[in-house]
């Protein structure tokens, strides 16, 4: 079977959907199957997505999320003679020369429509038609599958659950005592900080964590509580920096912006604890990466996070600042608790694997190929 993987978004972004696309394709090409995978890439993406004997590259000039892609993309796809198309970025072309599978990562834009600008709103308003006319729909968590059913009215029987996974590189490392790492002008010492990883946007709920940090510092002024924040600026992030300013947390919070994978691996292993107070997650990949690295982890008890962490993390109401402050203080100052949480993390993360995701996804491809195209 000749399977097209829409990877045009990889020319423009890192992490998120592009990382899912690359990891899934890497795992698919390693399976003992006889399929050919065609990476549909934009000309701006100069490097091949994955190098393998069963991967071919095709260049499509239609940019992702373009206002005319529902018309131009099908024309370009005709030349590829695909047996099946996988669209990891929510939306499949309505007119297409082959069956299509779509992946829905989350429906945050329906829960929080204010996060969308006009261009994004135009693109994502197609999601209902996309799932209803797709030949298969993949949800990356049970929480996302419930959202698809409740918000888009698609029957659960039409939705396949295929979990993502942490990359194999994320694993426990032995660090030297008082080991440090330099990030531009910042030098960070292992074992001295809590870690938060995500794009800076309202639904990530970082101000709750900042307020909890402030309470901890006020309670025990002799303890040098420190929070390291990793992630690029997203949208409506003014409240984050206003909270740091108003609570005078300038010396207690370090914003690193985006970091490369090796630096992120070090941070997960070096942190005293990892905290994610998010209001909503379709999957929560940084949480799984932290668990894989044996970071003692605190998460919100909402959306997909309970199913991802199981019993391997402390789960807290996302808006309860006092509960977050108590948990931060407890984990920070209780080595026995940190050890218990650290022990459970890698085992929980190991329940998710890209090999399993690839096998389940490939089975969906073949199931779809055996039945007529949805209209």
CATH number of residue 23's parent domain: 3.40.50.2000
Alpha carbon dihedral 364, 368, 371, 373, in 10-degree steps, equals 160
Predicted confidence at residue 375, as pLDDT, reads 44
194, 343: one domain: yes
313, 234: one domain: yes
Predicted confidence at residue 289, as pLDDT, reads 96
pLDDT < 70 regions, the chain? 372-375
Residue 170 counted as domain residue: no
Residue numbers of the domain that contains 318 = 180-349
Q: Would you tell me the crossing angle of helices 335-349 and 285-292 to the nearest 10 degrees? A: 110
Predicted confidence at residue 189, as pLDDT, reads 96
Judge whether 287 and 313 are in contact, CB under 8 Å: yes
109, 253: one domain: no
116, 23: one domain: yes
Strand 159-161 to 136-139 pairing = parallel
41, 128: one domain: yes
Residue 174 counted as domain residue: no
63, 161: one domain: yes
146, 41: one domain: yes
269, 150: one domain: no
Predicted confidence at residue 372, as pLDDT, reads 59
Residue 171 counted as domain residue: no
- Domain count of the fold of the chain: 2
10, 109: one domain: yes
138, 90: one domain: yes
Residue 214 counted as domain residue: yes
Give the tens place of pLDDT for each residue, 288-302.
Answer: 999 999 999 999 999
339, 243: one domain: yes
Alpha carbon dihedral 191, 285, 326, 315, in 10-degree steps, equals -140
Predicted confidence at residue 239, as pLDDT, reads 87
Predicted confidence at residue 116, as pLDDT, reads 75
202, 303: one domain: yes
């Amino acid at each position: 079977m000749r399977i097209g993987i829409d990877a045009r978004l990889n020319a423009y972004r890192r992490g998120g959907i592009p990382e899912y696309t690359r990891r899934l394709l890497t795992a698919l090409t390693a399976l003992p199957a006889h399929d050919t995978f065609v990476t549909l890439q934009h000309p701006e993406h100069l490097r091949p997505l994955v190098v393998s004997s069963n991967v071919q590259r095709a260049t499509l000039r239609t940019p992702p999320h373009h206002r005319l892609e529902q018309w131009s993309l099908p024309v370009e796809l005709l030349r590829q003679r695909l047996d099946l198309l996988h669209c990891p970025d929510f939306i499949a072309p309505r007119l297409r020369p082959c069956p299509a599978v779509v992946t829905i990562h989350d429906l945050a834009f329906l829960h929080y429509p204010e996060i969308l600008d006009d261009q994004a709103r135009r693109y994502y308003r197609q999601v209902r038609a996309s799932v209803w006319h797709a030949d298969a729909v993949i949800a990356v968590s049970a929480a996302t599958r419930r959202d698809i059913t409740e918000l888009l009215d698609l029957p659960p029987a039409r939705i396949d659950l295929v979990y993502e996974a942490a990359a194999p590189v994320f694993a426990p490392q032995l660090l030297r005592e008082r080991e440090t790492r330099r990030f531009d002008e910042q030098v960070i010492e292992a074992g001295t900080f809590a870690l938060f990883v995500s794009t800076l946007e309202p639904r990530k709920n970082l101000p709750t964590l900042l307020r909890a940090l402030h309470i901890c510092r006020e309670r025990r002024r002799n303890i040098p509580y420190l929070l390291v924040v990793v992630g690029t600026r997203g949208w409506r992030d003014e409240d984050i920096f206003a909270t740091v300013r108003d609570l005078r947390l300038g010396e207690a919070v370090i914003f690193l912006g985006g970091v490369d994978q090796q630096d992120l691996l070090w941070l997960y292993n070096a942190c005293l604890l990892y905290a994610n107070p998010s209001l909503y997650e379709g999957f929560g990949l940084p949480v799984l990466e932290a668990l894989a690295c044996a970071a003692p982890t605190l998460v919100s008890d909402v959306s997909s996070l309970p199913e991802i962490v199981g019993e391997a993390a402390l789960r807290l109401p996302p808006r309860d600042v006092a509960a977050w402050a108590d948990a931060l203080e407890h984990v920070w100052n209780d080595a026995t608790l940190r050890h218990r949480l650290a022990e459970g993390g890698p085992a929980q993360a190991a329940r998710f694997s890209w090999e399993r995701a690839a096998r389940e996804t490939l089975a969906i491809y073949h199931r779809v190929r055996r039945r007529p195209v949805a209209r």
